[in-house]
Amino acid sequence: LKHAAEQESSYISSSEIGRKAGVPGAQVRKDLLCFKAKGRPSVGFHVLTLRKDLERYLGLEHSRSVALVGAGNLGKALAQFPGFAQYGMKITLLLDKDPQKIGSVIGGLEIKGMDVLPLIAKEKRLKIGIITTPASEAQLVAEQMVAAGIISIWNFTPTRLSLPEEVFIRYEDLSAGLALLSQKAAEFERNHNHE
């Protein structure tokens, strides 16, 4: 969005944004209302101002440290996901329960044991945690995160977490994705054979 907008003109309309993002203009305007972005009727939104406001709203002004628990394949891949840098995030704490993994280094970061979570999370004021453990560990890990001051959790496990409601949870259930993909493919084949 920024990319495209910046070069062309200093103002952009909500429907223009919408077209590029694949949503109707009304939705864009509603979303921008979240942080009270002001547009000028018949002109649009000032691109640079909008971008600044959006960055402030998303908290992208200063870099943010993140704790990741569960240094399996998925955990390792995420640790290297370039999106983090884009959003000013950096995984600074990489934890695992498995004593075999503790001590080894991934992407310049040493895997530590769960016991250091409370200390380091508070010291670095970590607010964001990522869970890539087996499903059975997720609830416990989440509770430990919350106890350590984390208030925003990205859960890659199929486990539904029960946590205080002020904690934000984003579920990223890859298994659900697989199930759906498989179901749609199966459905397609059923329809195809019946004809």
Partner DNA sequence: TAGATTGTTAATCGATTAACAATC
Q: What residue ranges bind DNA (CB under 7 A)?
A: 13-15, 23-27, 29-30, 32-33, 37-45
> What are residue 170's DSSP bridge partners?
154
Tell me: does residue 58 bind a second copy (CB under 8 A): yes
7, 42, 73, 100: which one contacts a second copy (CB under 8 A)?
73
Number of residues assigned to the chain: 195
Residues 42, 139: Cα–Cα separation, whole Å: 51
Q: Of the two residues 9 and 188, which places its CB atom closer to a second copy in the complex? A: 188
Q: Which of 4, 26, 147, 185 binds a second copy (CB under 8 A)?
A: 185
Token look-up 């998303």 returns 58
Q: Is 79 left (phi over 0), alpha (psi -120 to 50) or beta?
A: alpha
Rounded-to-integer distance, Cα 89 and Cα 91, Å = 7
Cα separation, 195 vs 176, whole angstroms: 29
Which element (helix H / strand E) includes 1? none
The verdict on 151 binding a second copy (CB under 8 A) reads yes
- 90-129 footprint of a second copy as x/- string (CB under 8 A): -------------------------------------xx-
Applying CB under 8 A, the residues found at the interface with a second copy are: 21-23, 56-60, 64, 73-74, 76-78, 80-84, 86-89, 127-128, 151-152, 154, 160, 162, 168, 170, 172, 174-175, 177-189
